[in-house]
Amino acid sequence: MKAAQVIMDTGAHAAALAVKSARVDVVPGYPITPQTSIMEAVAAMVENGELNARFIPVEGEHSAMAAAVAASAAGARVFTATSANGLLYMHEVLHMASGGRLPVVMCNVNRGIFAPWTLWADHQDSFAQRDTGWIQYHCSSNQEVFNTILQAFRVAEQINIPIMVNFDGFAISHCLMPLTLPPQEDIDRFLPPHEPKWRLDPAHPSSFSNVTNAAEYAPFRQMLSDDIMASIPLVKQAAQEYKDITGMWDGDTIDTYLLEDAEVVAFAVNSMAAELRLSIDILREQGIKAGLLRPRLYLPFPAEDIINALPQNAQVMVLDRNYNFGHPGGILASELKSVLFGRRNDITVKNRVMGIGGIDLPRRFMAAEIRAMMDE
Amino acid sequence: MKSVTKAYQPISWPMKGAGGDTGSWRTHRPVVDTQICTKCQLCWVYCPEAVIDRNEITIDYRYCKGCGVCATECPTGAISMEKEE
């Protein structure tokens, strides 16, 4: 047994190393900040022979996802990555991947959306893709990015639904953290080669996503909706088996910190949720029974796990790094309230929007925000 | 909650009528006058739906959409477009 290797690297390179470990076959790519470092690293791996894959440089993100769809339909294991406006430009083809039931895995490095232009992180881009039929993870560390990409390929290929692995631009994508790389044979055991039940093959002509009549179309949409919900046990199984093999754990559908006896619960995703653990420590030092609930899955929204995990009579402080236009506050708060309604009437939900366009969210600031929200 | 899914993909294999009963779309039906027809097969060449029998010059009305290309291309005027009831 080879031992795991520990290195220092960025979140973007963690993603590229996961792509290599997953033995991806095809990578269509188009550069956009802050995602570009992933594609640079993957292209270099293909160029120097470390990764036996076809790298397809395309002229835009719409084409990148179209190439991903085509390669996946041909039976390849496919990865691509994007950010912000690149993700928005893909929007139409995202539906082709999910409706076509193609297990593409894509990293979206979260970045605010124009106008005006920004390069820095918020979560408007990924949350705006809620209704595309993609499963969405949100990661809070470089290690979790690496681990989640491998879990995502496994779940996507089990259930034939594409998966988006999201993490914050710069705070994760460009910052160095220790990264544990499990031995390749362990990863191969966790993620066997992709063997699709169907593929485009000139020897056995077929086509997919042809025009359907209403009686044919509706069942496909129902199956996609049902199967997205049915991915939750597969997500849990993948997290557990990854832990059994590598010893690493980032949570499954949710991740919690000091939640069991918490009276005040912070609720947030991505890098700010990692920083929030330190805010919770500050609040605990002040005598406040604070805890953290981080949805690792945003879609499907892990309703049952959230309902079961929240302590009785908790005040939940939802910290949204996005706007829910047309409503006061953010999207996560809306999702949480819709889940709790009629199920957990003991819970109070409060909401603030912060960190838009990369505004820094240090631990003391968020602890102070949560204290202020308690008095509202 | 289901733990195993059918994961159906929207796949189709080439076969007669894979696109459904497209004959129901038709407003006008091409009718071949066998007294005039010389069996030159130009209608078979031009038919975009491949519903004309090459040798008999008969039309499969279950799938013919009634586009009228055959009637336009017929050099002897043997094909007329008649309004569907």
| CATH code, A323 | 3.40.50.920
Look up residue A317 and give its two tokens. 């402080």
Q: Of A223, A246, A269, which residue constitutes the final position of a domain?
A: A246
- Domains annotated for chain B, with CATH where assigned, are 22-83 (3.30.70.20)
CATH at residue A32? 3.40.50.970
Across the interface, do A210 and B19 touch by the CB < 8 Å criterion?
A: yes
Distance from CA of B84 to the nearest CA of A (A): 23
Based on the fold, state whether residues A217 and A148 are members of the same structural domain. yes
Crossing angle, helix A142-159 and helix A11-21, to 10 degrees? 40
pLDDT interval class at B9 (50, 70, 90): confident
Query: Do A263 and A168 lie in a common domain?
Result: no
A200 in the same domain as A284? no
Same structural domain, A239 and A270: no
Residue B4 pLDDT exceeds 90: no
Higher pLDDT, A197 or A55: A55
Buried b (16+ CB within 10 A) or exposed e, A245-273: bbeeebbbbbbbbbbeebebbbbbbbbbb
Distance (Å, rounded) from C-alpha B79 to C-alpha B44?
12
When scoring B1, B6, B9, B24 by the number of chain A Cβ atoms within 10 A, the one with the most, hence best to mutate, is B9
Residue A206 vs residue A166, higher pLDDT? A166
Query: DSSP character for B24?
Result: G
Tell whether B17 is within 8 A of chain A (Cβ). no
Give the domain-ending residue among A218, A246, A274. A246
pLDDT tens per residue across span A319-362: 999 999 999 999 999 999 999 999 999 999 999 999 999 999 99
- B35 close contact with A: CB closer than 8 A: no
* The model's pTM: 0.91
Judge contact between A73 and A97, C-beta under 8 A: no
**pLDDT score, position B7:** 54
Higher-scoring residue by pLDDT: B15, A221: A221
Residue A262 and residue A237 in one domain: no
Mean pLDDT, to the nearest integer, of A163-188?
98
Q: Is the pLDDT of residue A164 over 50?
A: yes
pLDDT per position as a tens digit, A71-114: 999 999 999 999 999 999 999 999 999 999 999 999 999 999 99
Whether residue A367 is predicted with pLDDT greater than 60 in this model: the reply is yes
Same-domain status, A260 and A240: no
> Domain residues for A286?
254-374
State percent of chain A over pLDDT 70: 100
Binned at pLDDT 50, 70 and 90, residue A1 comes out as low
Q: What are phi and psi of A194, to 5 degrees?
A: -75, 120
Residues A160, A95 share a domain: yes
- A290 vs A292: CA distance, rounded Å: 7
Q: Does residue A197 share a domain with residue A98? A: yes
Given an 8 Å threshold on Cβ–Cβ distance, is B9 in contact with A208? Answer: yes
> Are residues A109 and A26 part of one domain?
yes
- Kindly determine whether residue B10 and residue A213, on different chains, have CB atoms separated by under 8 Å: no
Q: Are residues A168 and A284 in the same domain?
A: no
Compute the distance between CA of residue A46 and CA of residue A37 in angstroms, rounded to an integer. Answer: 14
**Number of structural domains in chain A:** 2
| Domain final residue, candidates A246, A270, A286 | A246
pLDDT tens-digit profile of A231-251? Answer: 999 999 999 999 999 999 999
Instruction: Give the one of B4, B9, B12 whose C-beta lies nearest to A160's C-beta.
Output: B9
Q: Mark whether A293 and A234 lie in a shared domain.
A: no
pLDDT of residue B16: 80
- Residue A288 confidence class, pLDDT cut points 50, 70, 90: very high
Say if residue A333 is in the same domain as residue A221.
Answer: no
Q: Is A209 on the interface with B (CB under 8 A)?
A: yes
Residue in chain A closest to B15 (alpha carbons) equals: A206
